[in-house]
Amino acid sequence: MTRLELDTVDAAARAIFPKNSHAELSVGAEDLDVRGYFEKLIARSSGRVAFALRLGILFCMLAPIFVLGRFATLRSLDLADRQKAIEALAYSRIYAVRQLVLLIKVHVAMVFGAHPVARAVMLPEPEAHAASLVSNLVKGESRAHVA
């Protein structure tokens, strides 16, 4: 992946999961290895999936031009404008645009959900669900407890 693509993914992730967006949630996308996840994802994906992900990233990158009418990229906007741009893409009348942007959002959510603090907020009783959680997204986590 190019640096521009990685910067765009990072900017989109920060718009999707901003830090301190919830009273109990002290983490945001800026605390996660979104870049590393997407680099590995693209590297191990089939050509078609990698193309779809990169096309979704391209839509996010150029969103300010088409949805906000500004000659800018997503990473050059402030958080509020990034959120408006991503939201506009997610509600686009064009099905392919919606789906490709939602593909990016789903993968960012997978990274976010793997963070222990985010998982503790999302699951009411994290201990009860620990055996069913399978994650390779948090560095150093052991999978020995998974049956």
The model's pLDDT over 77-127, given as tens digits with 9 standing for 90+, comes to 888 999 999 999 999 899 999 999 999 989 888 888 777 777 777 776 655
Q: Closest by alpha carbon to 65, among 76, 80, 52, 53?
A: 76
At residue 28, the pLDDT reads 74
Burial 59-81, CB ≥16 within 10 A → b, else e: bbbbbbeebbeeebbbbebeeeb
